[in-house]
Amino acid sequence: MDYLLHILVMVALYAILAGSFNLLIGFSGLFALSHAAFFGVGAYTTAILAVGYGLPFPWPLLAGVVVAGLVGLAIGLPALRVGGEYLVIITLALQVIAVAVMLNWTSLTGGTQGIGNVPRIQVLGTALDTAGRFLPLAVAVAALSLWIAWRLGASPFGRALRAMRENEAAAQAVGKNVVAMKLIVFAVSAGIASIAGALYAHYIAFVSAVSFTIETTIYILAMVILGGTGNLSGSVLGAAILVVLPELLKFVDLPPDIADKLRQVMYGVILIVMLRLRPQGLLPEHDEKRARVPAGLGGDGLATLAPASPADGAVTVEGRGLMKGFGGIVAVQDFAIDLQRGRIIGLIGPNGAGKTTAFNLLTGFLAPDAGTVRVRGEVVSGRAPHRIVRAGMARSFQDLRLFRKMTVLDNVRVALPAQKGDRLLHVYLLPWVVRAEERANLGRAMAVLRFVGLEAKAGELAESLSYAEEKLLVIARLLATGAEVLLFDEPLSGLDPGTMESIFPIVRKLAQQGKTICIIEHNLDVIRGLCDWAVFLDEGRKIAEGTPDTLIADPVLAERYFK
């Protein structure tokens, strides 16, 4: 019986580890290989404080959470500049360094001897010195830890994490501070993992670096992948299977001389079959193409999100003397542009003229080498993209950059500005406030989808939309930011004339409501049929500006455009 209870204790501990690791990999798309280091920090902090200083439970555990959170912040710093395989390599190196510190800082960690005689947890005078006594505490703490992870993942902050996972630039373009998000999720994930380490130290009563190596990280990673990334229930299932399955195989009668090797082969084959049948994991994030959308969402939330302003032609954006070079190539030089409220301005020119670079300079995705950008008179050049969105100017991308593994509704909801649920203190300390705002934001998001004609697609994944519907979702997401200035990078490219004609009224209505709109477009029919004014850019310079008909009729400009 103790043997079975011990297995259940280990399932609870690894469920904590898998759930916390899933926050990084499944929710945030940060593929880091340093999770066992967080596990070890919690275990060693607990052992050092409990053995060396006599601190009783739960103080060593809480100290471990703080220390691991700080380590998580430090490990998260490389993720601010690198991603993908580079982040894997850097975090792998940090994992190796952590183990080396555990093995060689003998005065603190005991070196290769580890730290023994970690005191058992006492509850009401009873020592939790058996698996049966320890199991209720392990299950309760695991449930609390997973609730912390679930609360984060189910909040607007968790939705923003998924958006960052799908495309960092697009997340910035809807006002999300991806730098802060990466640091926070590393710290939270590390803190939760350290809880498992603290329990492990008290349960085993011994801490050694061999328990926190890269092999342990890979073991936890396998649990996340097998259970399903982006789904905490899957993490629990994956932990249960990988902990229990080797024990079950011990009951398979095999020849004694090759039993261990055959069991390892059987273990591997079973996992391969599981992943072959369910490559997305046993409990994936989205098991269906359509999610449920609450019924009865009415009202005109769009009016509060994007209140109408007078289309009076007042200048809202000024770009002056903008310049950007890449090595010896000058992409934009001495570029000036004015964008007016209620007007649709086209930015045209041949391929390579610098149009997208100009957008990047206006919206903070590139810092200008010279020049300034003002939004309603306020200098915004040099600010991060998310801060420029909050100042009132947002942009789309030529390659759409939708959050494809998120629903249409969530693509819009994540873009809504100033969400209280983007702050951890509100998520955990003011959940009723976050819930009330979420209900209101559902109505606002549905109003935006209704405006562009995608209300019926709200519950579908963005990846299932047609190309024309994807274009409409780009408009909806941009509108949801609440920005007064909307910059569209080729919003109608690749569409047939009939579809374009159906989208024209949407863009015109935005301008009539006082939005400032600038469009990069190669299709001159779009420029002629939609824009009030056009700016011709070539070789990084503004060559001319005027009405679309005037520019298109100019033979010199036509020659440069079609050369």
d(CA 410, CA 445): 8
* pLDDT(54) > 60: yes
* Residue 279: predicted pLDDT: 81
- pLDDT bin (cut points 50, 70, 90) of residue 302 is low
Q: Which residue segments constitute the domains of the chain, with CATH numbers given?
A: 2-240 (no CATH), 309-392+520-563 (3.40.50.300)
Dihedral angle, C-alpha 530, 536, 539, 542, nearest 10 °: -130
Torsion of CA 32, 37, 39, 44, to 10 degrees: -170
Integer Cα distance of 344 and 509 in angstroms:
11
pLDDT (tens digit, 9 = 90+) per residue, 480-489?
Answer: 999 999 999 9
Asked if the peptide bond before residue 505 counts as cis, ω within 30 degrees of 0, the response is no
Mean pLDDT across the stretch 146-170? Answer: 95
pLDDT band, residue 88 (cuts 50/70/90) = confident
Give the whole-angstrom CA distance, residue 47 versus residue 55: 10
pLDDT for 266: 82
pLDDT digits (tens, 9 = 90+) for 306-329: 666 777 788 999 999 999 988 878
Percent of the chain surpassing pLDDT 70: 95
CB atoms within 10 A of CB 294: 12
Question: Which residues does 218 contact at the CB level (< 8 Å), separation at least 6?
Answer: 33
The confidence score (pLDDT) of residue 292 equals 66
In the block, residue with structure tokens 């700080």: 70
- Under a CB-based contact definition with an 8 Å cutoff, are residues 560 and 348 in contact? no
- Give me the pLDDT at residue 304, please: 59
Range with lowest mean pLDDT among 57-66, 137-146, 311-320 = 311-320
Average pLDDT value over all residues in the chain = 89
Output the pTM of the full model: 0.91
Beta strand pairing status for 122-123 and 126-127? antiparallel
Distance, in Å, from the CA atom of 332 to the CA atom of 353, rounded to the nearest integer, reads 8
- Residue pair 515/326 in contact (Cβ under 8 Å)? The answer is no
pLDDT at 115 over 90: yes
**Which residue has better confidence, 292 or 132?**
132
pLDDT, tens digit, 9 for 90 and up, residues 513-538: 889 999 998 888 888 889 999 999 88
Question: HSE (CB half, 13 Å, CA atoms) of 163?
Answer: 30
- pLDDT at 557 > cutoff 60: yes
275, amino acid identity: L
Contact 419, 159 (CB under 8 A): no
Query: SS3 of 155, please?
Result: coil
β-pair type (516-520, 485-489): parallel
Among 195, 187, 183, smallest CA distance to 138 is for 195
Q: Of 515 and 301, which is predicted with more confidence?
A: 515
- 54 Cβ contact partners less than 8 Å away, ≥ 6 residues apart: none
Give the number of other Cβ atoms within 10 Å of residue 226's Cβ.
22
DSSP state letters, 289-322: SB----S---S-HHHHHS--------EEEEEEEE
Residues 30 and 182: beta-carbon distance below 8 Å: yes
Q: Tokens 């495309």 label which residue?
A: 167
Residue recorded with tokens 């200008």 = 368
CA distances, 321 to each of 285, 360, 362, 416 (Å):
47, 15, 12, 32
Query: Residue 164 pLDDT > 90, yes or no?
Result: yes
Q: Position 444: which residue type?
A: R
The reported pLDDT for the residue numbered 307 is: 62
More reliable by pLDDT, 235 or 259 = 235
Q: What is the pLDDT of residue 125?
A: 83
Percent of the chain residues past pLDDT 90, beyond the cut: 65
- If you search the block for the tokens 């809480």, which residue do you land on? 62
* Residue 425 clears pLDDT 80, i.e. is over it: yes
List b or e across 424-454, with b for residues whose CB sees 16 or more CB atoms inside 10 angstroms: eebbeeeeeebeebbeebbbbbbbbbbbbeb
Q: Closest by alpha carbon to 232, among 157, 198, 298, 283?
A: 283
Q: How many CB atoms lie within 10 A of CB 532?
A: 15
Residue 291: pLDDT over 70: no
Q: Which two tokens stand for residue 100?
A: 């080396």
